[in-house]
Structure 1
Amino acid sequence: MTPRQANVVVMPSGPISAHWAAASPFAGMDVCRAAGWEVVPGGSRPNFDEDFWDLTGLRDIPKSARSNTQRLDFRGITDPAFRLTAKEYIFALAVPDHELVLALPEAIRTVYKPTSCFNYCVQLVRWLNYLTAQGISDLSEVMQEHCDVYRVMRLERKRTTRGTGPISAGTMMTILQPVRNLAYYRELFTKAAYRPGFVPWPGLPLTKVAGWKYQHGNSEPAVAEEVFQPTVAAALYLTETLGPLVADEFDRLLQAVETRSSSTLRSLSPEISAKFSRVVASYVHRGQPLPELDGRLLTKRIGNGADPDDPLVRLHVSRMINERTNYTSFPYRLVESVRPMLEDAVAKVGIAGAHARDATPIPRYDDQTPVPWTVPLTGQQLRDLAFVVLAACRILVASISGMRASELDELTPLSPQQPVTVSGDTQRFRLTSKLIKGHQLGGVQAEWVVLEPAYRAVQLAARLNQADEEDRVFPMSPTDFLHGRLRDWVNGTDGQRLGLAPIPAGPVNGRMLRRTLALTLAYRPGGLLAAKIHLKHVSVVTTEGYAHKPGGSQGALLASVEKAQEHHHLELTEAAYRDYQDGRMPAGPGARDLIKAFEHIDDLLKDHQSGPAAVLDSDRRLEMLLKQQAKSLHVQAANYCWFRDPSRALCLKLAGTPNATKPLAGMCDSARCPQATHHPCHLPVWENTAASNTVFLDNPRFPKAEKARLKSELERAQQIVNEIITAHTGLGEE
């Protein structure tokens, strides 16, 4: 006998959910204890019978979880029977190992966390109230037509937060999942359930109903190169050069606020007037502008009737009165009694922000010319600048560490660990955080080995955010919003004054930055990340981080890098093969072996007959053959290394490591290595090398001893240039 069959009671007259909960198999149960959620001492422990589950007292709620997601409110469901069904469904998601839930063959076995329960609770409120609005008083009356109309209605509704575009397929999955899954929990529900055998959208995967389109591999796009480069360059400049100065000034602002008393001046007595006059006179004597009012306070002052054209409307008189008295508020109406004196002072020295008036010079980003790090700032302008630097810190750490958003959210002031000195007197910098995605509530401790700029960015963010030991160091704002603030500042007068390259408009979020790092490491080994960070350093550091604690987020990113690298190498090998087919041959010492390998592939494909099926099979066979060749490809900045036989690798011979499994890029001499080839994509590198050497040789001040070495390098570079051009045009084909 099912719970629904065993608990047939008469509907009570009042809309009190406790009447219904008394018949539920979960009645009286402690939600947190049943779900295994730990509660802090004194924290709330909601009972199943309650229509509002307050989970704010949970111990292990991730820092990324917003406070509203910790409150499951069923009170919005109009029908009390429907309300009980919603609570039973959410309870079953949180406690899938309950004996009654285990008895349901199609129940979800995954343990849902509080944030997921909140999302489905919100969708249940909307779905069940929609049914009530349609005149349905019993869930057994629900028809497929109701589900279809509801789906269309939600699809046509635009998003109301962070944009006005259509609802995504992923969001539709969240909307429609409880609509369908109520059917799978029918036997569990006490008072309201779909009729037996009814399942919304029968025979269709919910992904298809929601409009989800499967894509092979990682479909997350990378940040556009023209957006990524100036973004990371600006973030690095702000955190490394500007950030410490902003933090110093911000500390002084906070200290001044803490020591400031709180009292309002009611009238100007002769004594107070004399003190205020001395303050004004001191500004004039020093030749310093009078302090400027914050923008938001200026707007309020004008809204209260002040004349926008008044020369004193921007004056921060409260700050001035506080310099010699304990008063912190100077009502603007009292300005009239000292107007002549203030207007005279403003005419002589003007008005400007009170902070950072003696700004330390720093080098501009573009030409290294010394300029003050800022113009004078008001208090609010300084706070806004501190937030921009915070945004830069998060974007930089996300860009060069590969940490997920949830893992960045778990960073605290205690996350930067003591640097460890390794061989060569270099240091390794580590950050501790938590892996949240795919783990139980609260996550698991993890450690990342990162570049020093990322390490310092976390320390700077903790300082700017005034974070305590267990507080998060980054603000509760999505990455796309933070990037927008950074872009607006860089493209504005402040960023351009410091010589930063403008950041074009384009989408940027945490997943895209993670994907960009993976693709950059896979596609451009030895290249440059942004302006100053070498990819080889990123690769070494992050790889060490993955090896330190394999699996989890680090392992997932490493797998993404390796998969992207494998795909990229296959593309490069196929491009070289297509060039060979078109008569554009490779150059370099390893060209003959590569051509023989391509000829062997041609021989293996000759037996295939023509026809659509044979062509398809031939294409697949070609891909498999090229994959074998691509496995030996190692991409260098100026050549391809086909590392098939370590005993023939020149770099290993020079290093005395004949048993190594990978080439040594730092010792590559592609002009002499029998496994190196040059292709048209390498032509600009060698042309630039030849041009640079020519410039140095033409310089009469260049040391003669160095000229001999450069002359041989120039000859080698020019020879390679000629070989690439000759082979590419087919003139060198035998």
Structure 2
Amino acid sequence: MIDRNTAPGLGRTATAPFAGLVLCPAIGFSLPSGQAGPVFEQDLWDFSQVLRLPAYTPKGARILDFTTVRNPSWRTLAKEYVTALLQPGHARVRELPDAVRTPHTLQTAKLKFREVVRWMNWLTAHGVVHLTEVSDHHCAGFVAERARRLDCSGEVIGQKDHTMARAANVVIELSYYQELFSTDRYAADLRPFKGQSAASVAGARRAKDGENSTPVVPDETMRPLLSAALYMVRVLAPHFLALRHELRELQSSPPRPRRQVRGVAVLEAAIRRRMETGRPLDRIPNGPRGRRLANGSFLPDAPLLDVSLDSIARDAGRSAFPPRDLPVQVHSSACRAVQPPLVRQRHVAAFESLCGE
């Protein structure tokens, strides 16, 4: 049974630095009108409603569930650590000499939170109830276990250095925030890994005198690489830009037809314009073609199997249409005039000429 009382030596009157803190305005997150966001004491922090988060932030990174920490007395500690990472300008955090000064993104804070959960639950599984009981033996054992590289049979075949460094970093950083924690903390004389950095714990070597540890790329390799890059930018790029502009023009939808002329007549007119201008029907990529066959919407010998119906719909000012709406003569002629979008003899000849230079 886990002891819920305050850790020995910490004192029951330790001040909780973030008590009652409404997190979003404190961190600088914007919310829609009427939304309050999570409060520090809550065990589930849901930032899903936050506005203007980076588009790359996964949905899972926006929710922090502190009930995943098995020892209830460490949940507050985990909250204090994450809050300090997100709000390094807080008055209590600024007092800490080794605290991280740059605000963490929500995604990075979530990664560190997950590592803290692993560390705390590992300690619980090994009989540790208070952080004052943590020793160098625990620190080394945890990071070594986290870094194991296993094969399919579960045998240890190596070490994942980046995982070891990430695990060691969290173990070390908790010592940086000792004075901030209100429910538990390491013993005063514990210096995880004897003061080594996380990179050193993982075996990374620092270059002497600040030199770059990555060897310089030989001149005989760098010169051709730079020459090819300049050729791409100066010679090929203008043609790529012209193709992109033409593609956008082709894919832009014309004015929508009047309601009374919609239907098969509009499709006939759109395809007639292509024939008159010598513009083939667009061919779909292999992926969509395979899906058409897999879902049974087209037979292998269907004339329109390779035809992009979306491009015909755009030409006709429609959002979509069933293949049966195409006239019979289009079905029979489609296979004879299908090319990938923007494949034109003038472009092919131009690129063959450029590549031959």
State the TM-score, normalized to the length of structure 1.
0.38
1:150 deviates by: 2.1
Is 2:319 the counterpart of 1:328? yes
- Opposite residue 304 of structure 1, the aligned amino acid is N
Percent of pairs with identical residues = 25
The residue number in structure 1 matching 2:68 is: 77
The residue number in structure 2 matching 1:698 is: none
- Corresponding residue for residue 57 of structure 2: 67
- Describe the superposition over 1:350-409 as per-residue Cα deviations: whole angstroms up to 9, x where unpaired: 310233536458xxxxxxxxx324xxxxxxxxxxxxxxxxxxxxxxxxxxxxxxxxxxxx
Aligned amino acid, residue 173 of structure 1: A
Counterpart contact for 2:31–2:37, Cα < 8 Å: no
1:176 aligns with 2:176: no
**Aligned equivalents of 1:67, 1:57: Cα separation in 2:** 11
Cα offset for 1:315? 1.1
Residue in 1 that maps onto 2:344: 357
* CA shift for structure 1 position 345: 1.5
Distance change in 2, residues 1:296/1:231 (3 Å)? farther
Q: Quickly say closer, same or farther: Cα 1:278–1:260, change in 2 above 3 A.
A: closer
1:246 aligned residue (240, 244, 248): 240
Q: Which structure 2 residue ranges, 5 or more long, are not aligned? A: 1-7, 151-157
Q: Which residue of 1 aligns with 2:102?
A: 112
Cα distance in structure 2, aligned partners of 1:207 and 1:326: 59
The match for 1:312 among 301, 304, 311 is: 304
| CA RMSD, Structure 1 to Structure 2 (Å) | 4.5
1:127 equivalent in alignment to 2:127: no
Q: For 1:356-505, what aligned pairs fall within 5 Å after superposition?
A: 357=344, 359=346, 371-373=349-351, 498-499=354-355
CA–CA separation in structure 2 for the residues paired with 1:99 and 1:275: 70
Size of the aligned set, in residue pairs, is 330
1:218 lines up with 2:218 in the alignment:
no
- 2:41 is aligned to 49
SS at match of 1:190: coil
Letter matched to residue 345 of structure 1:
S
**Structure 1 residue 66: Cα displacement:** 4.2
User: 1:167 offset after TM fit, Å?
Assistant: 3.7
Among 226, 231, 237, the residue aligned to 1:232: 226
The correspondence for 1:6, drawn from 12, 17, 29, is 12
Match of 1:73, SS state, is strand
Query: How far apart are the structure 1 equivalents of 2:321 and 2:132?
Result: 68
* Amino acid paired to 1:175: A
User: Partner of 1:289 in structure 2?
Assistant: 280
1:101, distance to aligned residue in structure 2 (A): 6.7
- Asked if the contact 2:32/2:49 (under 8 Å) is kept, the reply is no
Structure 1 residues 232-288: Cα deviation after superposition (integer angstroms, max 9, x where no partner): 33433333333334334434444555536899xxxxxx9844554455455555554
In structure 2, relative to structure 1, the CA distance for the partners of 1:252 and 1:39 (3 Å cut) is same
- Specify the SS of the correspondent of 1:208: helix
State the SS of the aligned residue for 2:68. Answer: coil
Partner of 1:512: none
Match of 2:21 among 25, 29, 33: 29
| CA spacing shift, 1:319–1:90, aligned 2, 3 Å | closer
Instruction: Report the Cα distance in structure 2 between the residues aligned to 1:256 and 1:302, rounded to whole angstroms.
Output: 27
Residues 402-427 of structure 1, C-alpha deviations (whole Å, 9 max, x = no match): xxxxxxxxxxxxxxxxxxxxxxxxxx
Work out whether residues 112 and 170 of structure 2, in 8 Å CA contact, stay in contact via their aligned partners in 1. yes
Tell me how far apart the structure 2 counterparts of residues 113 and 55 of structure 1 sit (CA, whole Å).
19
**Greater length-normalized contact order (CA 8 Å, ≥ 6 residues apart):** 2
CA distance in 2: counterparts of 1:239 and 1:99, whole angstroms: 51
Output the CA distance in 2 between the equivalents of 1:282 and 1:204.
Answer: 73
CA distance in 1, matches of 2:186, 2:148: 26
Of 83, 92, 98, 2:91 maps to 98
* Secondary structure, counterpart of 1:27 in structure 2: coil
Show the counterpart of 2:154.
Answer: none
Structure 1 residue runs without a partner (length 5+) = 9-22, 159-164, 264-269, 362-370, 374-495, 502-734
Aligned pair in 2 of structure 1 residues 32, 155: CA closer, same or farther (>3 Å)?
same
Larger Rg: 1
Cα distance in 2 for residues equivalent to 1:206 and 1:286: 66
Secondary structure, counterpart of 1:372 in structure 2: helix
Distance in 2 separating the partners of 1:321 and 1:97: 57
Correspondence for 2:131: 139
